[in-house]
Structure 1
Amino acid sequence: MNWKFWEKDKSAEPRKKKTKTREWVDAILFAVIAATIIRVFFIEAYTIPTGSMERSLLIGDFLFVSKVNYGPRIPMTPVAFPFAHHTMPITGTKAYWDGVQWKYRRLPGLSDIKRNDVVVFNYPQGDTVALEMQDQDYYRMVRNMGWNTVNSQYTIVTRPVDKRENYIKRCIGIGGDVISMKNGLVSVNGKPEKLKNTGQIKYEVAFKTPDVNFAIFKDMGFNIDEDISRQDELSCVFNGTEEMMNKVKGLDFVASVKEQTQPEGQRESDVFPFDEKRNWNADNFGPITIPKTGWTVTLDSASMPLYERCIRIYEGNKLEKSGDGWLINGKPATTYTFKMDYYWMMGDNRHNSLDSRYWGFVPDDHIVGKALFIWMSYDTNGSFFSKIRWSRLLNGIH
């Protein structure tokens, strides 16, 4: 006898309808997961916070940064609050848990980083931060104030690679390139590389008369308050592009226009590699060879100031001085072979940019993505509609 005749047909039962609360929870959860996947593996929004890339990128530009071009980086700190970088917006507490750390891995990308690409990356010296002075470089504070002073007066924290501040600069050199700079002009592998049309530096401008109508400079694209500073009645310092300064030079009341750069041989203490034996400054330095995977450097008093941080911090080796030589992971070493590619990044606004000249190389594991285009640009000055820079919307980044 077929007893299934007496069983209740469960398929005929109506499904229990989800409550409105459950529907909202499911929708929000799905949206968070989808947005996180897109943000981590495909594309992410980014805001320009400083003027270091003017006039290529302006304060208030909102960008889309591609993770696909150079290959998405697998999260190194996987346990984190969605959409928060390193700090919770209201509480100010950590937005991640560093109890779980994954090794650096990157999925295949569409291309390698090329010279002149505009790149977003994690700030290399952001491994240590004074919480009360997060806009300041910890290592510069230590050099200027002393380790004991900084560590006794401020709350010091360390951050994993992918939770360090995001920076955006132009890639000037890739692994294996030799970089140098003389009188404000960068050379790559011995070839001088002029600033792009949007790049700018400071110029000394002398006038023939003290009666100057500064409104004419506004028509040329200068911000009178930010780009021009008065020295005396007959001279000013301008921050502008070569094209803009050629127009200034052509004015009949202008006597001369001269690039304002530091003299060669005048040491600037905050310029990488902070070596007293090198009289380098932000306008004159090098030559410096950028490390790359498989490149071997001889360890000596000349090379160690340049590569010590790469070997010890970025590549995770125990590095010790032993007499006239060095120990790497407890073993004597006269050479070191690099495991990663490195890059040299600089801002287009050369005299207003904290870049590789002040902290050195950017390791490959710090690379976030390639800046693609501006989806919104917003000026804090002016009326509501004039605040939007309509001409910059959807502009590509070159």
Structure 2
Amino acid sequence: MNYFLTYFIYVLILSVIMGISTWKLFKKMGYNPLFAFVPFYNYFIILKETQHSKWWAALSYIPIIGPIMMTAFHVFLMKHFGKKSFVQVLLTIFLPFIYMAVVNYSKDTEVEVADDLYLTEDELVAKEKDTFAGSITFAVVFATIIHVFFTQPFGIPTGSMERTLLVGDFLFVNKWTYGFRMPMRPVALPFLQGTIMDTGEKGNPKDDPKSYVDAIKLPYTRLLQLKKPQKNDIVVFNYPQDSVHVAIDRKDPYVKRCVAVAGDVLEMKAGRLFINGKPEQILGDQQMQHKFIATTGSQLDIPALYKIYGFLPVQERQTQTGFEYDFQGLTDKTAKEIKELPQIIEIKEHIWDKDVAAVQFKANAARDAYTKNIDSTQSIFPVNKKWNQDWYGPLRIPKKGDVVNLNQETLPEYQWIISEYEHHHLENKNGKIFIDGKEATQYTIQQDYYMMIGDNRDASLDARFFGFVPEENIVGSPMFTWMSVQGLFTDGGSTYQADKKVRWDRMFKATNTGELHKTSYWWVAALILILFFGWDFIMKLFKKKEEEI
């Protein structure tokens, strides 16, 4: 059952419920009661009778937008029949079809005709409040349309993409770059990703109140997919192994660089990335960075270094002879400059030993505190390989149509694809593999997959830990940075934090071009402001024209 058929069924169900709840009210307004069952037209009549903009009816059943609009229309209808007290409005909002049905089947319910000439002072004040509330509601609706269907703001709280995207950067994400992924949970609160609030570290994240209704769902589909992610694209995607949210489009958003696409072979050698046997291409806005360990005779002035370099996650340990520092995300140039400090005895790049599995990092958590941020398995992907961040692969990225062999050795590589991403029932028992109840020794991949890795390779929870990213998890790509504040977030487990300051030079600059000198998008900011402040003016024009008609 495809997306639009499922959507149509939901619309029909809602229309039937709407008709059952309001058909007598439509009759009392002078219309054929069957019109209460007609999608869109039923709300068109309500807007016409309550003297609101009739074109709003077009928004009635749009995913995420529709529930907001329908709630407003229901309130309009109830007020048209004199149900305007605070309690009655609350009942209309939270129990819409039940309360409207009660009103619908009440014998004494009649249209309340009001003439502004005879309104009391209190009624005039109430009408002004309704007008103001309506303006706020439709301003929210306008912003929600932009957020859901065009572009979405995204903040950078961690340093995995340093120094391409900085901690404290705020981006606008283009949702049409790789085709628009239609919303899969159509009933949801606007502007919230997965949950309404965080219950804190002691609570179970699965118990956090969700911002969407999980029972009402639509299948994955993508519109106008003119291109797919390419190597070196910076991509925003939903974290594949988010165990809290089942809905794909409600999983936590991540941003990484797409280093390998479907069909590529990826390998890390001594911390250097190779794709299809060739060294990775370094773009103009990228800087190679690594983890360095510095030994000193006395304590370093880390706050002073923060002021110089801005981003400098560091772990400090006191030794018998001085101090030891783990620096993440240093470029060769920065490492050379730090080496010149008088306190430095030695500084060298840290490379993990070959054939040492990442799961062993767990035993070194006290020494390498940043590994606490790694996925709960504390392990590399796939879990049966003796790989780590610096020695990884070779690993072939699955491509749609690939036929892969299944056995106990290869299953860890494909089990998430089969059971979670392509939604089959997978069993592994008595040394045999079963898919949807049938024994299987092969499997055909049903969609393309990608490897997303951070530019700051030694401080990035990325595809080396959570594995392949399915195409259906792709959200879009960053367009530009609209705000950038240094020191807004603490990253890398560091106890130090840079002073807060606005990075004016990064604001409204393109983020996904690969060029060192990026295009400015100040004109987009001006356009957004014009649209925002022009909304109320446009609404007044529509209302004035309707009144003239």
**TM-score above 0.5:** yes
TM bin, normalised by shorter chain, reads 0.7 to 0.9
Amino acid at match of 1:388: V
Q: In structure 2, how many angstroms separate the alpha carbons of the residues matched to 1:255 and 1:46?
A: 41
Q: In structure 1, how many angstroms separate the alpha carbons of the residues matched to 2:195 and 2:352?
A: 38
SS in 2 for 1:378: strand
1:258: how far off? 2.9
Instruction: Tell me which residue corresponds to 1:265.
Output: 355
Instruction: Tell me which residue corresponds to 2:220.
Output: 104
1:206: how far off? 5.5
Aligned counterpart in structure 2 of residue 394 of structure 1, from 508, 523, 544 = 508
Instruction: Tell me which residue corresponds to 1:245.
Output: 335
Moved more, 231-240 or 175-184: 231-240
Give ranges in structure 1 of 5+ residues lacking alignment. Answer: 1-14, 130-157
Q: 1:44 to 1:284 in 2, by over 3 A?
A: same
Aligned counterpart in structure 2 of residue 221 of structure 1, from 299, 309, 332 = 309
Amino acid at match of 1:48: I
Moved more, 210-219 or 336-345: 210-219
1:163 aligns with 2:277: no
Q: 1:34 to 1:327 in 2, by over 3 A?
A: same
SS in 1 for 2:510: coil
Instruction: Tell me which residue corresponds to 2:229.
Output: 113
1:64: how far off? 0.5
How much is the aligned-residue C-alpha RMSD, in angstroms?
Answer: 3.0
Q: In structure 2, how many angstroms separate the alpha carbons of the residues matched to 1:60 and 1:306?
A: 35
Instruction: Tell me which residue corresponds to 1:60.
Output: 168
Instruction: Tell me which residue corresponds to 2:422.
Output: 315
Larger CA Rg, structure 1 vs 2: 2
Matched-pair contact (CA < 8 Å) for 1:178–1:190: yes
Give ranges in structure 2 of 5+ residues lacking alignment. Answer: 1-113, 117-123, 200-207, 360-377, 489-498, 513-549
Matched-pair contact (CA < 8 Å) for 1:170–1:346: yes
Amino acid at match of 1:300: N
Instruction: Tell me which residue corresponds to 1:281.
Output: 388
Instruction: Tell me which residue corresponds to 2:92.
Output: none
SS in 2 for 1:20: helix
Instruction: Tell me which residue corresponds to 1:348.
Output: 455
Q: 1:376 to 1:262 in 2, by over 3 A?
A: same
Amino acid at match of 2:261: I
Q: In structure 2, how many angstroms separate the alpha carbons of the residues matched to 1:52 and 1:387?
A: 20
Instruction: Tell me which residue corresponds to 2:523.
Output: none
Instruction: Tell me which residue corresponds to 1:43.
Output: 151
Instruction: Tell me which residue corresponds to 2:373.
Output: none
Q: In structure 2, how many angstroms separate the alpha carbons of the residues matched to 1:50 and 1:215?
A: 19
| 1:327-346 matched pairs, under 5 angstroms | 327-346=434-453
Higher strand share: 1
Q: 1:223 to 1:231 in 2, by over 3 A?
A: farther
Moved more, 18-27 or 308-317: 18-27
Matched-pair contact (CA < 8 Å) for 1:231–1:237: no
Higher helix share: 2
Instruction: Tell me which residue corresponds to 1:11.
Output: none
Q: 1:175 to 1:216 in 2, by over 3 A?
A: same
Q: In structure 2, how many angstroms separate the alpha carbons of the residues matched to 1:90 and 1:125?
A: 19
Q: 1:231 to 1:391 in 2, by over 3 A?
A: farther
Amino acid at match of 1:68: W
SS in 1 for 2:309: coil
1:204: how far off? 3.0
**Kindly, what percent of the aligned residue pairs are identical?**
39
| TM-score of the aligned structures, taking structure 1 as reference length | 0.78
